[in-house]
Amino acid sequence: MYRRKLKHSRVKNLFKFASQKNNATCLVESALEYDACFHFEYSPNIKSFEAQPLGFHYVYEDRKFPYTPDFLLHYNDGGQKYLEIKTAKELSKLEVRQRFEMKKLAAVQRGVELIAVTENQIRVFPILDNLKLLHRYSGFQSLSDLHTRVIDLVRRTGNLKVSQLVEFLMMSAGEVLSVVARLLCLGRLFTNLTESSLSLNSMLWVTND
């Protein structure tokens, strides 16, 4: 097992993702890996995630090669999973697929499944744009009286559109959307982020947890 260290170079750009879930900044090698971080950050099933985890070796054509997965995901149920982020075009190459099968075998021998994820799973819209919007409001500030009031309003009504919140609070749409985005980040409010962009028409709800 070994730890690979990423370094800036003239031919490769590195990306930094500030994770509130990890309470740390992740350094990743591509824009696609960076976009994947938004899904990990806001997945309710993922407890934490690690970029460039401890690496291991795999055998390909009777030779031993070092390998570091792009991510190691830690799930709330205690499970773990390695991820390799590839473009669909790259993954279509025969040697890449053959090497990946050997990497999977080496990972399983260590008790962790390795899966490949492409832009087809990562760059899904509008959810990716919604997650990026939420991330803009993911600061560490505590809840204000206004945040608490919004939660109470939604809880009392059961389901409430953002536009209705604007009317109840007599505030601008932009101000209300920023409050809603912050509460969505914290898991205090919920909406459907997969089917439409966050807007005045978004329906909000809370859970009883």
Tell me the sheet residues that pair with 149: none
Q: Please compute Rg for the chain using Cα positions.
A: 20
pTM: 0.90
Pairwise CA distance, residues 183 & 206, whole Å: 10
Give, in degrees to the nearest 5, the angle at Cα 22 between 162 and 36: 70
For residues 149 and 92, what is the distance between their CA atoms, to the nearest angstrom? 51
| Residue 172 near residue 166, CB atoms below 8 Å | yes
Residue 19 phi, psi dihedral angles, 5° rounding: -110, 120
pLDDT in tens for each of the 209 residues of the chain?
Answer: 656 666 655 556 899 999 999 999 999 999 999 999 999 999 999 999 999 999 999 999 999 999 999 999 999 999 999 999 999 999 999 999 999 999 999 999 999 999 999 999 999 999 999 999 999 988 756 789 999 999 999 999 999 999 999 999 999 999 999 999 999 998 899 999 999 999 999 999 998 75
Could you tell me the two tokens for 39? 């899904």
Write out the H or E segment, with its range, that includes residue 81: strand 80-85
Q: What is the pLDDT of residue 163?
A: 98
Residue linked to tokens 């995630």? 49
| pLDDT attached to residue 143 | 86
> What end-to-end distance do the CA atoms of the chain give, in Å?
40
CATH 3.40.1350.10 location in the chain: 15-122
Classify 127-204 by CATH class: mainly alpha
Instruction: Write down the pLDDT at residue 140.
Output: 58
Residue range(s) occupied by CATH 1.10.10 in the chain? 127-204
Are the CB atoms for 94 and 67 separated by under 8 Å?
no
Tell me how many degrees the CA angle 35-42-92 measures, rounded to the nearest 5: 35
Which numeric CATH code is attached to 15-122? 3.40.1350.10
| C-alpha distances in Å from residue 50, one per residue of 2, 33, 166 | 14, 12, 39
Tell me, what's the pLDDT at 159?
Answer: 93
Spatial CA neighbour of 71 closest among 37, 24, 111? 37
**Helices 173-186 and 162-169: angle between axes, nearest 10 degrees:** 120
Tokens matching residue 154: 């939604």
